[in-house]
Amino acid sequence: MNEPTLRTRTEQTGQTTTFRRRTRRPVRTTSTLTDDSVIDLTLAGTGDEAAFGRIYDQFSSLVYGIVLRVLRDPAMSEEVAQEIFLELWRLAPRFDSANGSPKSWIATMAHRRAVDRVRSEQSRRQRDDRDAQLQPTEGVDVHEMVADQLDRVRVQKCLAELSSVQRESVTLAYFGGFTYREVASILDVAEGTIKTRIRDGLTKLREKLDDTE
């Protein structure tokens, strides 16, 4: 858009303005509003359904992807994803960007719900199959498009940088929905070791993800 009113800023010493150039007192420092999802989620917290629609559009594949990986059942995943979104809507007034990004808030809630469901279901049909857990979702009827191929490639690359024991521990705990005790039992190592591997794995992942940003 090239509005005539929009002047390109010149130098710091720039153009004169209709304002006097003096500041009388120190003012509260403010900072840039950078993240649309923060705005949308905040608006959703005031009952704005259109804003929540935008949150849905931005994060539905994140939520569904998490649930599908943990539950491995598309029908159940759709039902749980619906519950999660309504829960996100219900709790949106409590979202606080000081505590984390919308992405993190949403993923945390989605993951917890999925894990609660899988643990309460006790339907561990495939869950004892360690190999199945270590693979990307396969055998599940996923016709749906992968939402963001770039994210997928980037994350796969970062995961590949972990040692295999770190990768297995993180993947089993997060995508498998197993507790660290279960992971210890599956991999046949001490519980303390698993706690350390998960921590080290996540720490390394964070560094790698930061590097590729």
Partner 1 sequence: MLGSTDVSDDLHRLAAPYALDAIDDSAERLSFENHLKSCVICAEAVAQFRETAASVAMGAAVSPPVSLRASVLDSLGSTPQVPAEPRQVIDLTRPRPKLTASRLVLVAMAASVVLIIGVFGILTPRTAPTGLDEIALADDARISETTSDGTTLKIVWSPSMAQAAVTGSQLPILDEGQTYQLWLIADEATRPAGIFTSPDGDLALVVATDGGMAQAWGITIEPAGGSTSPTSDVLYTGTF
Q: What 3-state class would DSSP assign to 160?
A: helix
- Cα–Cα distance measured from residue 177 to residue 111, given in angstroms and rounded to the nearest whole number: 8
CB of 117 to partner 1, least distance (A): 12
155 is a contact residue toward partner 1 (CB under 8 A): yes
Nearer to partner 1, 77 or 168 (CB): 77
- Nearest one of 65, 85, 88 to 77, comparing CA atoms: 65
Q: What 3-state class would DSSP assign to 81?
A: helix
**Residue list 3-42, contact with partner 1 (CB under 8 A):** 3-9, 12, 14-15, 17-25, 27-36, 38-39, 42
**Residue list 157-186, contact with partner 1 (CB under 8 A):** 158-159, 170, 173-175, 177-183
- Cα–Cα distance measured from residue 112 to residue 169, given in angstroms and rounded to the nearest whole number: 18
Residue 198 corresponds to which amino acid? I
- Residue 140 makes CB contacts below 8 A (sequence gap 6+) with 68, 72, 73, 74
Nearer to partner 1, 103 or 124 (CB): 103
- Cα–Cα distance measured from residue 187 to residue 173, given in angstroms and rounded to the nearest whole number: 12
Residues 55-94, mask of contacts with partner 1 (x by CB under 8 A): -xx--xxxxxxx-xx----x--xx--xx--xx--xxxxxx
Exposed, middle or buried, 69 (CB in 10 Å: 0-12/13-18/19+)?
buried
| Cβ–Cβ under 8 Å, residues 77 and 63 | no
> What is the total count of residues that contact partner 1 (CB under 8 A)?
119
Nearer to partner 1, 125 or 156 (CB): 156
Nearer to partner 1, 34 or 164 (CB): 34
CB of 135 to partner 1, least distance (A): 12
107 is a contact residue toward partner 1 (CB under 8 A): yes
132 is a contact residue toward partner 1 (CB under 8 A): no
CB of 211 to partner 1, least distance (A): 12
